[in-house]
Structure 1
C-alpha cells in the first residue's frame, strides 16, 4: 500500500506518514494515521524509515489491533515476564504477550504481575508505534482504566512519587520523552489518582521536564478518557517552530502549551509509546500494576 499523500510545506518531501480511511466511530470524519516507508525530517536531516511494503495503521485498541491481515501495526512490545525474564517482541507481534501486553476484542491488557520481570530492570509492560511525522496536526484518543476490583489487579496507592506509572509518551528510541503523562497517587487525596503531564524543552534544559498540567481526583477501576492534540516540532517559536500540545481529560482541558514538542539534536524519528513504564521501580516488584485500554487511536486532525 503506497502512501498517496504529499504534505505541502514539509521539508524534504517526506512520504513517511499519511492517511487511511476512517475505520472506527471515535470521530466520524476522522482519518486514521499510518506510517509508510519513506523519509522523515529529524532536525534538519532527512532520515529514512523502513516500514516495509504495507502501511502501519495507528489504531491499537478494540477497533483496531496489534496485527491486521498479517501486518504488525506495532514496532515493539516489551514486558516483564515469568522466570526472571523480560520479553521483547518485534517483527512478529501477533496479539502480544498473553496476560502482560495483550490485545483482545474487549480491550488491551497492559500488566505487571507481582514477582515477575528480569532482576535489575525497570518494570514495564509497554508497546511502541512506528515513526511519527513532524509538522502536521495529530489527534490521539485514549480510553483506559487503572486497576480493577479483583485482588490481583487492585491499584495500590503508594506514597506520591514512590511508584509513578508512565502511561503515554512521544520519544525517540534512545532517549527520554519529549512529551508524556504519568499516573500517581493524588497528592491532594491519597485515595485517588492524578495524571501529570510533562514536556522536555531542549531550548531550556535538556535534563529538565517542565510540568505542563495535572488532573486530580481520578478513581481507580474507572474508565478515563484522554484526548490529545499536538503538532510535533523541535524548533522554538522564535526559530519558526509551530509546536503545540493540548490535552483534555474527561472533557476538561488540562494542557494548553505552545512551544517545542520534540527533542532536539536526536538522530532517530520519534514514536509514541503506551502502557506501563515504572521508571522508579526495579523488577521484581511485590506491587502489581494493571491497566486496560479500550481506545488507542491516532488520527490526522481534520
Structure 2
C-alpha cells in the first residue's frame, strides 16, 4: 500500500497538480471564450468538459515537458528535484501517465460536437510538441501561447459550433499574453538555460526584455479592447480591463531589476490579470 501511495504522490507532483497556477492561467482564457460565446450562459456540459479538459491537458503537458527535458532538468536549480530528474519516476512511466491523461481528456471531448472533437486533435498535437520547441526555436514561449490559447477556439466551437472573427482576436491576445508571462517565467532560468543551450525568449530579447514585454502588454490590451468593441460590451467590461492593466504595470515593476524571485512573482501575478478579465465578463453579462 505504501508503494502505491508513493507512486500516486510522484505522479501527482509530475503532473503539477500541487502547483495549480498553470491550471488557472490556462483556464481563464477558456472561460473568457465561453462567456463571450454564450453571452454569459454557457451550457453546463460544455463548461464541465472544457474545465476538466483544461486540467487534464495542462497535467499532460507538464508530464511530457518533464519527459522531454529529462536530460536538462537535473542541471537547472529550479527543476532538478522534479520526479523524472530526481530519478523517482522512470521516463517510460511518464509516457504511460501522459497517454492516460490524454485519453481521459479525449473521452470527455467525445461528449461534445464533431467540430470540437476535430479541433481537439490540434490541441493534443500542440501540447505534445511544445516541450521540444526549445531545442529548435528561440520562440518556444510563443509556441506555448499557441498551445495554451487553443482553448479559445475550442470553447467557441463547443458552445456555438462556430469560430467567429472575435474568437481569433481573443486567441491572438491569449497567445501574446502567454508569451509575456512565460518569458517572465523563463527569466528565472535564464542563466541555467544559457549554460545548457536551451533557447527562450528571455535569452532572445536580451536587455530589451522589459521593453518588448511592455509593448506586447499594450498590444494585448488593445486586442481586448477590440474584443469588447466587436461584441458591443458595456463600460463594465472596460472598467475590468482598466483594473487588469494595473497588474501589467505591477509586473513591470517586479521584473525591473530582473531578480529571479521577483520575476517568478510577476509570472504568478498573471493569474490575477486573467481573473479580473473573467470577473468583468461575468458582471457584464449579468
Q: Which protein has the bigger strand share?
A: 1
Higher relative contact order (CA 8 A, sep 6+): 1
Please report the TM-score for the alignment, with normalisation by the length of structure 1: 0.30
Q: Which protein has the bigger helix share?
A: 2
